[in-house]
């Protein structure tokens, strides 16, 4: 029997849907694998630590991911709380605080020092400060910023030798295209707000290279930028601008080009949990 055009079209559509379905299933499998369950040992290790985390908005994305992944079993419950002073660390706590102001990285360094010097430095097992992508502009002197950060770390280490001072690479932004993005950027320009510049990922990358070169094999480093720029297929996102080559955030991890969406925050949170869990408790460092 001759096959009608409609029948042929239906079969072709079905075959295409099947192929697409397989691709989606494979992608979903990789996403599920990348957000695999944290082990009981890792949850227990983190739940016993006193951690202080200075951050701004992307830090909240990471902490939201941690909360979403935390098991309901009381044995693994984390005490996640705002850290204002040493009284907030009378028990194991993942303490966090907004430090400084976005676009003014030196203010974050100064506020973080004040936070540690409030008495928290005498109690914390782990302390770490995260900058934001908006802390880098066309005018930012990356070498100067890193030297200010390095000086802060050296001073805090000398005052609080029993605390592990860990490091976080600077987050990136994603490439954004389309008429909606153009309209959004035009609105920002009219309102006098900064527009995300993808090419600034090159300067963020320079800061991250300095950080890794300085502290690799010396202090723990949480490579947030690498996680953000690695797809669920384990490929790195590379962009180019004005002759520069640099890593960028995978667009699938964000809705607005800079902050982490549900998938992005779960992938980052999983590694953040494992990273913190692996660090020593106060005074037990080699």
Q: Which domains does the chain have, with CATH numbers?
A: 28-278 (3.40.50.1110)
Which of 21-35, 106-120, 177-191 is least confident?
21-35
Report residue 111's pLDDT band, with 50, 70 and 90 as the boundaries: very high
CA torsion through residues 81, 98, 269, 284, sign: negative
Residue 285: what pLDDT?
Answer: 55
Q: Please give the Cα distance from 133 to 24 (Å, whole number).
A: 31
Q: Please give the Cα distance from 70 to 92 (Å, whole number).
A: 15
Which of 110-124, 181-195, 198-212, 244-258 is least confident?
181-195
Give yes or no for residue 32 having a pLDDT over 50: no
Residue 283: what pLDDT?
Answer: 66
Residue 286: what pLDDT?
Answer: 52
Residue 95 backbone phi and psi in degrees, to 5: -90, 140
Report residue 7's pLDDT band, with 50, 70 and 90 as the boundaries: low
Cα–Cα nearest to 51, from 273, 250, 284: 273
Q: Please give the Cα distance from 186 to 192 (Å, whole number).
A: 10
With contact defined as beta carbons under 8 Å apart, do 52 and 118 qualify?
A: no
Mean pLDDT (whole number) for 153-163? 98
Report residue 188's pLDDT band, with 50, 70 and 90 as the boundaries: low
Residue 194: what pLDDT?
Answer: 57
With contact defined as beta carbons under 8 Å apart, do 231 and 286 qualify?
A: no
Q: Where are the beta strands (DSSP E) in the chain?
A: 50-55, 80-82, 93-98, 126-129, 164-165, 167-168, 221-222, 238-241, 244-247
Cα–Cα nearest to 169, from 126, 228, 124: 228
Give yes or no for residue 26 having a pLDDT over 60: no
Strand partners, 238: 247
Give yes or no for residue 208 having a pLDDT over 90: yes
Strand partners, 96: 53, 82
CB contact set of 80 (below 8 Å; sequence gap of 6+): 63, 66, 67, 93, 94, 95, 96
Which of 94-103, 161-170, 196-205 is least confident?
196-205
pLDDT tens per residue across span 216-251 = 999 999 999 999 999 999 999 999 998 999 999 999
Report residue 70's pLDDT band, with 50, 70 and 90 as the boundaries: confident
């Amino acid at each position: 029997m001759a096959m009608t055009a409609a029948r042929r079209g239906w079969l072709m559509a079905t075959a295409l849907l099947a192929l697409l379905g397989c691709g989606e299933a494979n992608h979903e499998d990789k996403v599920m694998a990348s957000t695999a369950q944290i082990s009981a040992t890792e949850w227990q290790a983190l739940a016993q630590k006193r951690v202080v985390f200075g951050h701004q908005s992307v830090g909240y994305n990471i902490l939201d991911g941690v909360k979403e992944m935390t098991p309901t079993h009381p044995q693994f419950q984390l005490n996640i709380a705002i850290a204002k002073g040493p009284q907030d660390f009378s028990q194991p706590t993942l303490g966090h605080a907004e430090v400084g102001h976005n676009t003014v990285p030196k203010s974050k360094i100064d506020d973080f020092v004040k936070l540690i010097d409030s008495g928290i430095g005498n109690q914390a097992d782990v302390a770490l400060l995260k900058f934001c992508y908006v802390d880098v502009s066309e005018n930012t002197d990356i070498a100067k910023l890193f030297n200010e950060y390095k000086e802060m770390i050296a001073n805090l280490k000398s005052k609080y030798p029993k605390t592990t001072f860990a490091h976080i690479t600077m987050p990136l932004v994603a490439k954004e295209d389309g008429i909606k993005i153009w309209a959004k950027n035009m609105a920002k320009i009219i309102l006098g707000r900064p527009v995300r510049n993808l090419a600034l990922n090159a300067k963020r990358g320079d800061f991250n290279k300095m950080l890794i070169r300085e502290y690799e094999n010396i202090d723990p480093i949480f490579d947030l930028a690498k996680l953000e720029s690695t797809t669920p297929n384990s490929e790195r996102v590379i962009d180019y601008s004005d002759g520069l080559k640099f890593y960028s955030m995978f667009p699938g991890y964000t809705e607005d080009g800079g902050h982490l969406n549900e998938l992005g925050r779960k992938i980052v949170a999983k590694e953040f949990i494992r990273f913190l869990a692996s660090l020593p408790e106060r005074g037990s460092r080699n």
